[in-house]
Structure 1
C-alpha cells in the first residue's frame, strides 16, 4: 500500500520581504522642520522640533505593490482629493496618512487583492479606514509608536469620516464623480479619455432608453403617421405630402418639449456644479437592455485601449486588454442568447486584432536589432574587436577625446548574438 503524500503547506506571502527590509535599512531618512502641534493649547517647542520621514523607503515599497493594490491606492487618493481635501485645507486626513494605511493593509494580507472583485475590496478598504478615523488611531508604518492622527483636531477627522460614509452609501456614483475630475494627458501618445458621461447616462436610464433613446421618440408617433402605400399614384403623392406635413408638425412639437425639458434640467442643476446624482441606487440586477449597453460600452473601450497599446506599449499588454474584451463577449452571450450575432461580430474583430498583434510580435522578434551609439551603428550579427579602424567608424559630428593632443584609442566592444 503506497503511502500518501502529505499536502504541501500553502505559501504565505510576506510583505515586505526580508530582502526588501534589508534594502530599506540602507536607505536614508530625512528630517522635516515640522513640530508637534497640540489639539488644544500651545506647544512652545514646536518651532524647535523636527519630524523623521522616510520618503525613499516609501517610494521603494510602492514599487512592489501589485496592480490591484496600486489601483486601490490611486482610487483612495482620488476620493480624498475630491471629497476631503477641499474642506480640510491640509489640516485633516492627508495623502501621507492614506499611504501609511495602504502599507499596513498590504502587510496584513498581501495576496487578498482579487482583480475580479476590486470594487468589493475597495469598499472594504474604505470601511477599514473609517474605523481607524473613528478611533483616531493610525500608526506610522516605520515608527510604530507614532500615531499619525494624534495631533489632528477631531473636527477634521469627523468630516473625513462623514465624507467616507457618504461614499459608502453611494459608491458607484461617488467613484464616477471623483474620476471625472481627473485630467488625462492629451496627445497621440496616450490612451483615449474614458467617457464617464456616457457611462453615467447608461446607468441612470431605464429599460430600452439605455440602448437607443431614438426608439423612445419613435414610439410616440401615432399609428396614422405611418407611411401607407396606395396603388393610385395621385393618392400616394397626396398622402406623402400630408405625411411630410404631419412629420414637420410632430418634429416641431418634439423640439419644443425637449427645449422645455432642457430648461427645466438646467434650472435644477443651477445650484450644483456637478450633475451626478449621488442619491441614485444601483439595482441588484440589470435588465437586458442596460446589461447589453454596459457590456458594449466596456468592450469598445477595451478594444480602443488595445489598439493604442499596440502602438505605444507591449505585445503582452495589448493581448491582456483584448482578453478582457473577449471575456465580456462571453458574458454577453450567456446573459442574452439573442445577442449571439452581435457577440460573434465582436469576436471576429477581437480575433483579427490578436492575429495582427501576434504577427507584429513575430516580425519584431525576427528582425535584427540595431544598437545606435552616436554616429556608430552596431548590429547583433556583427562582432567588433580591437581594430585600428575604430576612429573611422566615428562620424564627423562626434567629438573624439584627446589626451595631450593625441587621440585616445577607443575601448574594444564586442557584441555577440545570444541564442
Structure 2
C-alpha cells in the first residue's frame, strides 16, 4: 500500500466545473481528482482493513451485490456516474461502491463500523429577519482531511433518468474523494440548500437504498414535497440512517428551515421512517448525529456520546440570531474531549475537515478549511439559481412524523 504523506491541514479546496451526461460528469470528476481519489483509497483504514476483507467473503459479496442491484434499479444514472468516476480515476468500481455502504456492510455482517468511533457533523439553522443562516461543520474520519473537492455540474439527459424521471440536474456539492456528490453540504439550481448529518441506526438491512444515494438524489429536488418523496423512498426504503437540514431559497412566504430524520423501514414496511421538524422566523435548529424525534434504536458508542456533548455545548449559547452567533457555535472547542469544531492533534480519529455557512439572504456559501472563529473563508461562492420565480406549494405541515 502506498505511503500517504502527512501534510497537515491545507487551506485549499479545488473545484471542477463540468457538463455532460452522468457518466461524462463522473469521468471528469475521476480524471480531474485522480490523485486525491488514489490517495484517499490508500489512506483509508476502514476501506482497507474492514470493507475490503468483508467484501472478499461470500456473505460480504452477497450484501454488496444485493445493495448494488437495488440502487441500479432505482438510480441507474448514479451507478453510471460512479462508473465514470472509477474509469476516470482508473480505480476499481467496487472500491468506490464500498465507500457508499461503509456502515451497512459491517452492520449487516455483525461487525463494528467506523461510525461507532464518533464521526459526525453539527448543524445550526438560524432564522431571524435579515439573518437566515444554515451553518454546518463537516466532520469525518481523519483521513478525509485534504481529500475533498467541489463539483459544480450541469447534467442534461436525452431521456428521463431513474425512478424520479430526472432530465436535468444543476448543482454544486462539496464531495469526499471518490464519493457521489450530495453527501455533505450542497445546493441546486432550484434553490434547495441542505447539509447532511449521519446517524447510526442499530439494525441495518441489505438491499436497501444507501443514504449516500438518497442524498445524491436530493440534488435533483425541485421543491420540499419532492425532497420528502425522495427521502421516503417508497418501494424500498433507506438502508441506513441520516438527518437532513434544509431550506428552499425561493419558497413562498416566510423563511422555513426543516430537519428531516430518516431511518430504515420498520418491520415489514417498504419505505423509510421519516420525521420532519420545521422552524419559522425567530426559531432555530441544532442537530448532530442522533435522533431527536424518531423512535428507532441506535447503535450507541462514541457517535452518541459525542452528539450528546455537542448538543449540551450548543445549549450553553444564547439562541443564535446572526451569522456571527452561528460561527461562534460551530467553532466552539470548550469541551476538550468532544468539541463542536473537532481538532486537538494529528492523531485524532475524527476531524472537522471544513465548515460551511449558507447565507440565504445574500445567497452566498462561505467555506472555511479551518476554525471559522479565527480564520477567513477559503472561498465565498454565489448561489446561482435557475430563475427568480417562487417555488409554489413547498411549505409542509410542521413537525410531520411518518
Q: Between the two structures, name the one with larger relative contact order (CA 8 Å, sep ≥ 6).
A: 2
TM-score (norm 2): 0.23
Q: Which structure has the larger Rg over C-alpha atoms?
A: 1
Query: Which structure's residues are more often strand, by fraction?
Result: 2
TM-score (norm 1): 0.22
